[in-house]
Amino acid sequence: MKNSLSCTNVSDFVFCPICGSFHTVKNGFTKTGKQQYRCKNCGKYFISSYSYHAYEKDLNEKIVILTKEGLGIRSTARILKISPTTLLSKIVSIASAINQPTIATGKTYEVDEIRSFVGNKDRLIWIVYALQRQTREVVSFNVGSRTNKTLNVVLQTLQNAKAKRINTDGCKNYKYLINKRIHKVLRFGTNHIERNNLTIRTHLKRLSRRTICYTRSISLLFCVLKIYFWL
């Protein structure tokens, strides 16, 4: 009620899901017969309940949980009752909003690779990542072929952070990419990251050694790893 002589079409205190304002009014019905509302604060239109589950407010949180638990695209889509195409676009959108964590300077890191394949077993792919030895947090990773270019993306990040020491296995590529003063190849120098490799393969079934749930896109694999490592 504005005053004693005029009134407005009230919405029974329905709040706007976009801005959270209670200044909303009824605005007719949709084609399916559902009540439509308009927010007087932000001007957006919405309805109180959606039939399609892709509009649920906590959908992104559910996608993150199921992705980190290792569910594939089709199994996640079945559980959330959305289309696989919508799920793929949501995963890409979530991953694009994730920023690389800040790397502490003067720390010891372990670097290793995980071998997998994309599309078919003849198309091998490597996941190169760096693990901080003290906290066991992943600070950088890259996906690609096993070349100096792929490895150097991770190593350059560590060198910019003024790494105190970088432990690797006996791969000869590291000898040319890492300064000899900080590069170490020790018996137990990579035990934490080697154990973490097993954990990753256990959690993400797309990286299991014997599976039919393999990755079909390098870009999607990068997005899934970004969510798994940094969310």
Domain ranges of the chain: 1-49, 53-96, 108-215
- The CATH code that applies to domain 108-215 is 3.30.420.10
Helical (H) or strand (E) element with 36: strand 35-39
The encoded tokens of residue 157 equal 């990040």
Q: How far apart are CA 24 and CA 16, in angstroms?
A: 7
The encoded tokens of residue 94 equal 């979530």
Which residue shows structure tokens 């560590």?
A: 158
Is-contact 70 205, C-beta < 8 A?
yes
Mean pLDDT of 144-154: 94
- Which residues touch 220 (CB under 8 Å, ≥6 apart)? 73, 88, 91, 92
The pTM of the full predicted model, rounded to 2 decimals, is 0.80
Angle of the 73-80 helix axis to the 84-96 helix axis, nearest 10: 100
For the segment 156-214, what is each residue's pLDDT rounded down to a tens digit? 999 999 999 999 999 999 999 999 999 999 999 999 999 999 999 999 989 988 877 88
Helical (H) or strand (E) element with 224: helix 218-230
